[in-house]
Amino acid sequence: MTPTPTTSIEIVAELAQGFEGNPGLARLLINAAAASGADAAKFQLVYADELATPDYKYYDLFKTLEMDDAIWSGLAADAVKAGIKLYLDVFGQRSLDLAARLGVTTVKLHGTDIANAGFLAQVAASSVPRVMLGAGGAHLTEVETALDLLRDKQVIVLLGFQSYPTPHEDNQIARVRALTERWKGSRGSVTLGFADHAPPEEGTRFALAGTAIGAGATLIEKHLTLGRNMKLEDHESALNPDEFEEFSHIVRNCASALGLTVTSDDFGMSEAEKGYRKMIRRHVVATRDLAVGTILLPEHLMLKRAGATDVITDLDLAYGKRLVRAVTKNAPVLSADLGNTQ
């Protein structure tokens, strides 16, 4: 029997640049992510010179997001204390090296680096075992070339993109299923994830991730902020901590509802469903008076509720059997009434 989709789901609280270069805010965000049911808290590990040249309009903003290595080391310790994994977006050799020294098990590569072959080679050579590969805005050929370069890593191809927030119809979550089917058997270490940027005021802020799980996503990334009214960086698609807690609960229930199935006649149904099947089955009764010796045919039997015990609920168990006792019209046919097949 072969199980088909997995019930495990990983929830990543995307904290991005929401810490605004403030270690205190970063600690609060880690604790909020842990308390809200996320599996991992993820920041962008920003060094301005890895992202831009000094003449770029946001270079100074990127400089304000830089923090000392010792601060990042402290945040890694805070994550351990909070019982949550720390993931980091990396943008160059310096941030990648720090992530490795901190013992980070998963780094994310932004979609801007999907075709950055030099940096992809550096990531491939690093000690970090797992990579979230941002694929929003990427072409299939770019994704597959990146996967070739990262072939020795565990890779989660992360679909979805930020459009502050992203309109529903632009998500194209069907790509999750299409790529899962495309890579089945050929890229065994590759899984699919979805970066959820639903409008935070709409009900789809909880529902969109369920759609992605149904399509085959095993990781969901969702922005978390301390409070949208604070208007911290990257708050546009973010949930407040209480909303994120509800989101985590709903997403895990969706994954549980997707469940496991097997290639057997009963699909590997649960004990609860087996009980339901037993409860709803009607009983085999006679459509007419039947004499001893009657070979039971479909026209002799129908299904109705009956008050007897030891009833038969499966017509196939009665068809072709010889009656060893006369049965009157509308009476149940019992197991003891059946003899061998003619």
Tell which residue, 96, 112, 29, 22, has the closest CA to residue 64. Answer: 22
Tell the burial category of 60 from Cβ atoms under 10 Å away from its Cβ (0-12, 13-18, 19+).
exposed
- Structure confidence by residue, pLDDT tens digits, 2-27: 334 445 899 999 999 999 999 999 99
Closest by CA to 206, choosing from 254, 136, 258, is 254
pLDDT at 185: 83
Among 185, 178, 92, 186, CA closest to 135: 178
- End-to-end alpha-carbon separation of the chain, Å? 36
Longest dimension (CA), the chain: 99
Q: Report pLDDT for 1.
A: 32
pTM of the model: 0.85
CATH 3.90.1210.10 fits domain 281-341: yes
Tokens 């990648």 label which residue?
A: 96
Nearest CA-CA partner of 124 in 90, 152, 156: 152
Q: What is the mean pLDDT of the chain?
A: 92
Amino acid residing at 11: I
Q: Is domain 10-258 classified as CATH 3.40.50.2300? A: no
According to the model, what pLDDT value does residue 311 have? 86
Count CB neighbours of 261 within 10 A.
Answer: 15
* 17, 23, 28, 33 alpha-carbon torsion, rounded to 10°: 50
Give the C-alpha separation, 51 to 44, whole Å.
Answer: 11
DSSP-derived secondary structure for 71-89: HHHHHHHHHHHHT-EEEEE
Helices (H) and strands (E) in the chain, counts: 11, 12
Calpha distance 223→236 (Å, rounded): 9
d(CA 306, CA 238): 57
**Can you give the pLDDT at residue 56?**
97
Give residue 135's pLDDT: 95
Which stretch of DSSP H or E encloses residue 322? strand 321-323
Tell me phi and psi for residue 194, to 5 degrees. -140, 130
**Per-residue pLDDT, 342:** 56
Give the pLDDT confidence score for residue 163 in this predicted structure.
76
CA distances from 96 to 86, 112, 234, 323 (A): 14, 16, 22, 78
pLDDT score recorded for residue 157: 97
Amino acid letter, residue 285: V
| DSSP element (H, E) containing 44 | strand 40-44
The domains of the chain are located at: 10-258, 281-341
| Integer Cα distance of 191 and 205 in angstroms | 23
Both tokens of residue 295?
């070979």
Per-residue pLDDT of the chain (342 residues; tens, 9 = 90+): 333 444 589 999 999 999 999 999 999 999 999 999 999 999 999 999 999 999 999 999 999 999 999 999 999 999 999 999 999 999 999 999 999 999 999 999 999 999 999 999 999 999 999 999 999 999 999 999 999 999 999 999 999 988 777 788 888 899 999 999 999 888 878 999 999 998 888 888 889 999 999 999 999 999 999 998 888 888 888 999 999 999 999 999 999 988 877 888 888 888 998 998 888 899 999 999 999 999 999 999 999 998 887 889 999 999 999 999 999 999 999 999 999 775
Residue type, 22: N
**192 by DSSP, 3-state: which?**
strand
